[in-house]
Amino acid sequence: MKPNMIKEFNFAILLSVLLLVACQGIPTPATLPPENTVSPVTPTFPIRLSPTASASATMTATEQVTLTPVPSPTMYIYVAPTATPLFYPAGNLQSNCLAYLPELPPDVNFNSTIAFESYKIDKGVITEYDTHLFNLAKNELFEGEHGTGIVVSPDRRLMAFTIEEPGATRVVNELVVADASGKRLQTLPWEQDWRILLRWIDNQRLVIGLEDTSGIWRPLPLLVLNPFTNERQHLQADLPDFLTLPLLDNSGWFGVIYDPTLTMAVYPHYFENDKEKFTFALWDLVHQKQVVNLDDIFFSYSVSNDIFLKPQWASDGSQFVFRNMYSTRERKDFELYRVTRDGQVEQLTNLGAYASINNEIMSWSPDGQYLAIFISRPRMQAQAEYHLAILDIATKQIMDTCVWFKEKPFVAELIPPVWSPNGEQLIVGQTQGHDGVLLLDLPKGFFTQIAEDMEPVGWMLAP
């Protein structure tokens, strides 16, 4: 969660969620399955390479920003020995524990750059935003600009971010597009009705959420902008039975999750003739029709506004995944599901009471064949211990890496892992307040710490 989002967090709504959960109850079996004592297998991780995207069109720089290498910090190595492997054959969960290395091996050469963000806080107020670029080939960390909200283009060659004035009131001054070296390619003044930079829709166009002064709760209006030509397209979705209670504008949720082509939308949809409950519906924006309604799989109570079950689209827009939260006397279902753009639904996990999946912190591999997820055992309480695991979409096999994190709400929260361009490595970290940022190499079977006190936000191809 971004710091400026945390400041806007609606605690009244959160309190209603907690009260509802307390009344409704989270299903916890009286007797959990025992820890499996069978020795875990160590299979070879079946990574399949994805093709590298082609470069985008040549663009003219508007301003050159010189980045200065900074000395590598003396890092506090927070990494503990790898966790006890999770092993549950009935749920296709096996372990493939990665080995910890104190530094990157000399024979490993990534011709790429990691984009990071950091910020400084004084008495609960952000006093400085910063971007950082870590050149893996040179093993050098560069200080960037005083920016935030980095989004990386699909071809991994461009990034966009905003230049903001820190403080109690959010003031955005500029929208910047730069390459992996930090060189500015375009700079635009931030316009008054622009609310938030969301993402790239392709390698030349950005999606910006707009302020809505209509006074009606509806899906966030969007602007599709080419920052190099100033070509613009506005999008305001009209979705039937849209949940009209205000949803928290957290992590780009805003009540609607669009596919990468902006032609399909997943949104909270009232149950037919029952506005006390909502489910997810998939809507075809081109043909203006509903593709599928998931009321037989997922529901939540409207008063809870549970935005944390945020669906995640694959990068090609072919499918999305979400973690279920269906709890009735007759059925308890907290598994992971996928839904294709033509409405086909498939259950991906069957962990039952053995382990649970983090609600929304997950990340698709570039080729759409794997999903990085966080799982934990139910008996792990207050500061949840989450293991990073990799789900093979085709085989439904889950591989526990034995790399774990302890989440502390509002202090050190999980953030989506960042995949390398070829889909073989990941960068994993947490919101600031957590010491370590880890690089995991899945085929080579190791992980190491590469930074601290930063949030990884993108993995770019070297310029």
User: Which secondary structure element, helix H or strand E, spans residue 460, and what is its range?
Assistant: strand 455-461
Question: In the prediction, which pLDDT does 392 show?
Answer: 97
3 state SS of 5: helix
How does pLDDT run across 227-277, given as a tens digit for each residue?
999 999 999 888 998 887 665 555 556 678 899 999 999 998 888 878 888
For 16, the 3-state DSSP assignment is helix
DSSP-derived letter for residue 333 is E
Radius of gyration of the chain (CA): 22
Supply the mean pLDDT for the chain: 79
Which residues are paired to 117 by β-bridges?
A: 131, 455
Q: pLDDT, tens digit, for every residue of 377-423?
A: 765 444 567 899 999 999 999 999 998 887 655 555 788 999 999 99
> Domain boundaries in the chain?
3-27+54-461
> 116 has which bridge partners?
132, 456
Residue in the block written with tokens 């390398």: 420
Q: Is 75 exposed, middle or buried (0-12, 13-18, 19+ CB in 10 A)?
A: middle
Q: 164 vs 21, which has greater pLDDT?
A: 164
Here the tokens at position 173 are 């001054």
When the candidates are 3.40.50.300, 3.30.2320.50, 2.60.40.1190, 2.130.10.10, the CATH number that belongs to 3-27+54-461 is 2.130.10.10
Question: What does the alpha-carbon distance between residue 218 and residue 284 come to, in Å, rounded to a whole number?
Answer: 17
CA 153 to chain CA centroid, nearest Å: 15
d(CA 312, CA 320): 5
Q: The tokens 């020795």 sit on which residue?
A: 39
Range of 32-46, 115-129, 337-351, 431-445 with top mean pLDDT: 337-351
Say what the pLDDT of residue 326 is: 75
Most confident of 6-10, 142-146, 215-219, 225-229: 225-229
